[in-house]
Amino acid sequence: MSRLIVKAVSAESTVSASSDGSLYVSVSRATNGKPVTGLSEKNFRATVEGEDLIINAFGESLWSHPGGETTGCYSLGIAFADTTEKWTKGEHYALGLQVRTFKGKKATDFGQTVLEMTKFNVS
């Protein structure tokens, strides 16, 4: 088992049309600092103050040069797992984010962080 370094920021914007939450996340290995590339939404878990969140949009950033190499930086769209819950415009949310890698079905590497997100847009 290895430790992952997880850094995350809110990617909320006053110009974004999305009513979902937006995060930007960097994942690297604590042992050597190398980026952890090729993850999927299944590697991420999120919570907001005890409420489960789902990852409903996902993408890994690419370096422009040379040749579109993956970065280990990920864009995540998040929403409440309980669809009766809604974001409140202007509210500040404390989020927990966990990243895990797997060998088969067994989680082998772990990292987590907390962050604050202010919601600008809601539907």
pLDDT > 60? residue 15: no
66 assigned to some structural domain: yes
Strand, helix or coil for residue 73: strand
Q: What is the pLDDT of residue 19?
A: 67
Q: What is the pLDDT of residue 50?
A: 84
123 assigned to some structural domain: no
Inter-residue contact 118 to 92 (CB < 8 Å): yes
Domain count, the chain: 1
41 assigned to some structural domain: yes
User: Structural domain of residue 63, as residue ranges?
Assistant: 2-118
Single-letter residue type at 117: M
Average pLDDT over residues 78-93: 90
What is the number of alpha carbons within 13 Å of residue 9 lying toward its C-beta?
A: 5
Q: Cα–Cα distance between 113 and 122 in angstroms, integer?
A: 25
CATH number at residue 109: 2.60.40.1220
| Of 29-38, 55-64, 65-74, highest mean pLDDT | 29-38
- For residue range 88-118, list pLDDT tens digits in order: 888 999 999 999 999 999 999 999 999 999 8
Q: What is the pLDDT of residue 18?
A: 62
Average pLDDT over the chain, rounded to whole?
90
By percentage, how much of the chain surpasses pLDDT 70? 93
Q: Cα–Cα distance between 79 and 61 in angstroms, integer?
A: 21
Strand, helix or coil for residue 43: helix
9 assigned to some structural domain: yes
Q: What are phi and psi of 23, to 5 degrees?
A: -130, 150
CA 17 and chain centroid, separation: 19
Average pLDDT over residues 73-81: 94
82 assigned to some structural domain: yes
Give residue 123's pLDDT band: very low, low, confident or very high (50, 70, 90): low
In the chain, beta strands by DSSP E: 2-10, 21-29, 44-48, 51-62, 70-80, 92-103, 106-118
pLDDT > 80? residue 16: no
